[in-house]
Amino acid sequence: MKRWAIILILTPILLNGCVQREILDDLNIETALGYDLVDENTIEGTGLFARYLSDKTTENVTISASAGSTREIFGKLEQRSQQPLVRGGLEAVLVGESLAHKGVINIGDSLQRDPSVGSRVYIAVVKGSSKELLNGEYGHRGNAIFISNLLEHNIRKRDVPETNLHLFLFNHFQEGQTAYLPMIRQLDEKNMEIAGVALFDKDKVVAEIPSEDMFYFKLLVDKYSEGSHIVKLNKKGKSTIGKKIEATINSLDSKNNIVIKNNGLPPKMEIKVKIKGIIKEYTGEKLSPKIITTIEKKMVKDIEKHGNKMINMFKEKKIDPLGIGQHLKHEVRGFDFKKWEASYPQADIKVKADVKIVESGTVE
C-alpha cells in the first residue's frame, strides 16, 4: 500500500514537469478576430492583440492576412507575428457584412474546434469592414474589451438578445430554429454603436432588424430583466402644443410564451408577451391613473403592431428566429419538419401583449 501511495503522490509532480511553460510577455494573445470578404474565393482575417506599455496604457496592435480558409489565415498570421499567437484571451469575433451574406459557418466551425476558444465568446456582424473597425482606438482598456463590454451592456440592460458563439451555433444546427447575431457599426475612429440584429437563413444573413425595432424583437426571442423603453403618446393638451408627450418605462421585466391554438397544418398560435415596468419620467402635465392606463394601452398597441409585422417578415423570408418549429416539435406528437416548413408561410401567428405599470414613482 505504501508503494502505491508513493506512486500516486509522485505521478502529478512528474506530469507537471512535462507541461511546456509559456511566459505571457513572450506571447501575442489574440483578444479579437475580424473576417472580411476580399473576393469570391478569398477571406481576409485580422487578429487584434493588446500590448501593455510601461506607463500602464494599452496599445492596440493588428495583423492581417488573406487566404481561402480560416485555417490558412491563422497560419499566415503566425508567420507575420514576432511571437507565438494564442487565442486563449479571445473576447469577440467580428464578421464583415459582405462575408456574412455569403456564409459564416466555416468561421464558427473553426472556432468551436479550437479548445482554447471559450464558447461564450461574443460574435457579431459588422456593418462595413471588421478590419477598419478593429483598427480604431476605443477607450483605454483596449478595443476587444470595449467591444465585449458594449455587447454585454446592451444584452443585460438594453435591446440586444442574449447571444454568443455557443448560442449561435446551437441555433444554427437546431431544427426549427434560425440564428441571429447583433450588428455593430463604426461611427468614427473612437466610437461604435449597436446597429441592429442580423437574421440568418442557415449560415447566411438574409434580413436585418433595425436598431429602432430591436426592443420588439427582444421581447419575442428573449426576455428583459432590466431595461427601458420610451412610449410616445400622440395626444396633446392645449398647454403642451408643439411638445412631445412621452413616458419612459424603466426596470422592464418581460416574459414570452408560445400558445398553440390549433396544431393542424398550417397551425394557429399566439406569442404572448407579458411586461411589467415602472414609469420614471413623463413629459406631460400630470400623470393620473387614466394616463397610466393610456400608456399601457399604447405600449400594447405598439408591441402587437411591430411584433406582427416582424412575424410576417419572418414567414416571407422562411426564417424562424423565434424557434416556433422547435416549440411545435415538443408539443405535437409525430411532428413533421418538412410539412411544417411548407406550411409555415400560411401559419396564423399573432402577438398578444399584456402590459402592467406597477409603479409610477414621483413624477411632476
Nearest residue to 43 (alpha-carbon basis) of 51, 52, 33, 32 = 33
Start-to-end C-alpha separation, the chain: 80
DSSP state of 102: H
pLDDT at 141: 85
pLDDT at 222: 96
Nearest residue to 277 (alpha-carbon basis) of 358, 218, 364, 193 = 358
pLDDT at 118: 86
Cell numbers 393610456 correspond to what residue?
294
Write down the domain spans for the chain. Answer: 17-210, 223-364
pTM exceeds 0.75 for this model: yes
Query: Homologous superfamily of 223-364 in CATH?
Result: Nutrient germinant receptor protein C, domain 3 (3.30.300.210)
Compute how many other C-beta atoms are within 10 angstroms of the C-beta atom of residue 173: 11
Low-confidence ranges of the chain (pLDDT < 70): 1-27, 55-56, 235-242, 361-364
pLDDT at 22: 47
Compute how many other C-beta atoms are within 10 angstroms of the C-beta atom of residue 234: 7
Separation CA 348–CA 91 (nearest Å)? 41
**19 grid coordinates:** 507541461
Separation CA 303–CA 323 (nearest Å)? 19
pLDDT at 1: 55
- Phi/psi region, residue 143 (left: phi>0; alpha: psi -120 to 50; beta: rest), is alpha
pLDDT at 9: 63
